[in-house]
């Protein structure tokens, strides 16, 4: 045995020591008390719904392009969507066909994707929610009868209803007065400016159109017999029927929600006052105001129980509300010294009136919540804007911008107004919702 001869017992002791070291070492990390933190992240940023509307690469290219264009416009003005720029799309549209590859759409920020396929007989449209994978959440097939735009408007109404539970206003129509050099004519068009046509058929002054609740008729004031009388014509145009030919003004017609009555301004006794007449024969049913001031521009509340109108009884023109059965009127406009052309929001449960207000040297559109008494700016620093009209459902407002044309904007004051018709226009009225 040499100097450092090792005994078997020593080897056993070393093995035990090594084993102990191996067991103890990992324990030093496992017991770290600072690991495993959970940090709270409260409150997400609320945004418009990012939706992708790619043009279908299959079928008739012109029709496919038109579908994508109409979808993009409709969803863009709906007030709840942000339509994504197709330049950034990563998906192979040809390979995808009518389905989607969710990661590809997630990567471009899309929450929703619309796909469609055009055949000779019909158009199939599908809505996908990227988070829900490759199964479409909404599918519709429309026979190719009528024009493609109408089909796409109906589809977009379905998409809006899927997300919001509310009917869309796509496919509805807007009437307005187009001003010429020596005359003015009543026009109607699709809400997006397409298919504009002339309703009045004379060369005189024709102003202040008003849609009937059914959308089948338009009432307007015409000077064709020199006196400003009230006429009613079919919404598609044609020969009008004189409904009210009282001496003096027969202006500012507004149909009651049930379509049986029309409120308007008559000055048969000298001073302009608000009256309600029969929509069928023009007979006077009720005189609503009786004041030495000028009372004009009546507008029905959605339930028909109240009328808003303009009066200068307290000085400058202001918005007043009165019961549709008459009685005392109450001023509701709170801002400025000049407020005109009121219109009620048809949104259920909302007591909202939009009107024109003078702001410095120009005019702007304001929406006033009568309950909260909180005005919302619809336009500001964008020219002179007048004569608002709510869309069916109350999600959007159309108005005239002096010298530029007809615009539509979100009724909650968000987003940017979009021009739908170019020219000199006044007297905007938005027709009822289209049939589903």
Binding site residues, other proteins, CB under 8 A: 3-7, 9-10, 13-14, 17-18, 20-22, 24-26, 28-30, 32, 34-50, 80, 106, 109, 111, 129-132, 163-164
Beta bridge partners of 300: 307
The token pair at 407 is 């615009």
- Whole-number minimum distance, CB 161 to other proteins, in Å? 12
Cβ nearer to other proteins, comparing 22 with 360: 22
- Cα separation, 22 vs 37, in Å, equals 28
Cβ nearer to other proteins, comparing 238 with 348: 348
- Cα separation, 341 vs 299, in Å, equals 8
Contacts of 357 by beta carbon, 8 Å cutoff, 6+ apart: 333, 335, 336, 338, 339, 363, 364, 365, 366
Cβ nearer to other proteins, comparing 194 with 376: 376
Cβ nearer to other proteins, comparing 12 with 334: 12
Cβ nearer to other proteins, comparing 109 with 180: 109
Cβ nearer to other proteins, comparing 242 with 350: 350
- Whole-number minimum distance, CB 413 to other proteins, in Å? 14
Residues 168/172/138/55 CA torsion (nearest 10 deg) = -120
Burial of 373 (0-12, 13-18, 19+ CB in 10 A): exposed
Cβ nearer to other proteins, comparing 28 with 120: 28
Cβ nearer to other proteins, comparing 143 with 349: 349
Q: What is the DSSP string of 77-102?
A: HSSSEEEPPGGG--S-HHHHTTS--H
- Whole-number minimum distance, CB 23 to other proteins, in Å? 10
| 222, 240 Cβ separation under 8 angstroms | yes
- Whole-number minimum distance, CB 338 to other proteins, in Å? 32
- Whole-number minimum distance, CB 92 to other proteins, in Å? 21
- Whole-number minimum distance, CB 168 to other proteins, in Å? 13
Buried b (16+ CB within 10 A) or exposed e, 390-414: bbbbbbbbbbbbeebbbbbbbbebe
- Whole-number minimum distance, CB 141 to other proteins, in Å? 25
Buried b (16+ CB within 10 A) or exposed e, 299-308: bbbbeeebbb
- Whole-number minimum distance, CB 410 to other proteins, in Å? 12
Cβ nearer to other proteins, comparing 135 with 290: 135
Residue 392 DSSP symbol: T
- Whole-number minimum distance, CB 388 to other proteins, in Å? 24
Cβ nearer to other proteins, comparing 27 with 360: 27
Alpha-carbon Rg for the chain, nearest whole angstrom, is 32
Q: What is the DSSP string of 193-212?
A: S-S-EE---SSSBEEEEEE-
Residue in 324, 264, 267, 307 with CA at minimum distance from that of residue 291: 267
Cβ nearer to other proteins, comparing 41 with 120: 41
**How many Cβ atoms are within 10 Å of 79's Cβ, its own excluded?**
19
Task: Please give the C-alpha separations between residue 369 and each of 157, 158, 253, 391, 398, in angstroms, as whole numbers.
Answer: 26, 28, 24, 17, 18
- Cα separation, 111 vs 404, in Å, equals 35
- Whole-number minimum distance, CB 45 to other proteins, in Å? 5
- Whole-number minimum distance, CB 260 to other proteins, in Å? 37
Cβ nearer to other proteins, comparing 50 with 336: 50
- Cα separation, 16 vs 10, in Å, equals 10
- Whole-number minimum distance, CB 421 to other proteins, in Å? 28
């Amino acid at each position: 045995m040499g100097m450092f001869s090792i005994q078997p017992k020593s080897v056993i002791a070393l093995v035990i020591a090594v084993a102990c070291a191996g067991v103890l070492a990992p324990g030093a990390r496992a017991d770290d008390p600072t690991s495993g933190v959970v940090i709270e992240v409260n409150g997400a940023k609320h945004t418009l719904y990012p939706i992708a509307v790619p043009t279908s690469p299959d079928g008739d290219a012109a029709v496919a392009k038109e579908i994508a264009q109409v979808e993009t416009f409709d969803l863009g003005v709906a007030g709840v969507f942000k339509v994504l720029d197709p330049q950034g799309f990563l998906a192979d549209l040809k390979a995808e066909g009518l389905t989607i590859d969710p990661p590809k759409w997630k990567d471009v920020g899309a929450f929703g994707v619309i796909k469609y396929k055009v055949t000779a007989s019909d158009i199939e449209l599908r809505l996908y929610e990227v988070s829900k994978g490759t199964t479409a959440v909404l599918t519709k097939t429309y026979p190719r009868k009528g024009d493609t735009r109408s089909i796409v408007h109906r589809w977009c109404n379905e998409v809006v209803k899927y997300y919001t539970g509310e009917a869309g206003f796509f496919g509805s129509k807007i009437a307005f007065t187009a001003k010429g050099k020596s005359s003015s004519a009543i026009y109607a068009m699709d809400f997006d400016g397409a298919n504009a046509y002339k309703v009045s058929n004379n060369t005189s002054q024709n102003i202040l159109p008003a849609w009937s609740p059914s959308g089948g008729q338009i009432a307007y004031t015409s000077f064709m017999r020199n006196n400003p009388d009230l006429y009613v014509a079919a919404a598609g145009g044609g020969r009008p029927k004189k409904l009210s030919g009282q001496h003096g003004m027969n202006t500012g017609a507004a149909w009651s929600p049930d379509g049986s009555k029309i409120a308007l301004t008559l000055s048969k006794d000298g001073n302009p006052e608000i009256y309600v007449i029969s929509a069928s024969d023009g007979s006077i049913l009720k005189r609503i105001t009786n004041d030495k001031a000028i009372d004009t521009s009546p507008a029905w509340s959605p339930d028909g129980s109240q009328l808003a109108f303009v009066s200068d009884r307290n000085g400058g023109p202001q918005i007043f509300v009165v019961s549709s059965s008459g009685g005392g009127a109450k001023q509701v406009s709170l801002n400025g010294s000049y407020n005109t052309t009121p219109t009620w929001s048809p949104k259920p449960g909302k007591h909202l009136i939009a009107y024109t207000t003078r702001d410095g040297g120009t005019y702007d559109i304001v929406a006033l919540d009568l309950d909260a008494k909180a005005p919302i700016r619809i336009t500001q620093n964008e020219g002179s804007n007048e004569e608002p009209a709510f869309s069916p459902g109350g999600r959007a407002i159309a108005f005239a911008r002096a010298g530029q044309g007809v615009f539509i904007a979100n009724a909650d004051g968000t987003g940017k107004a979009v021009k739908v018709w170019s020219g000199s226009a006044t007297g905007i009225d938005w027709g009822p919702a289209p049939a589903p």
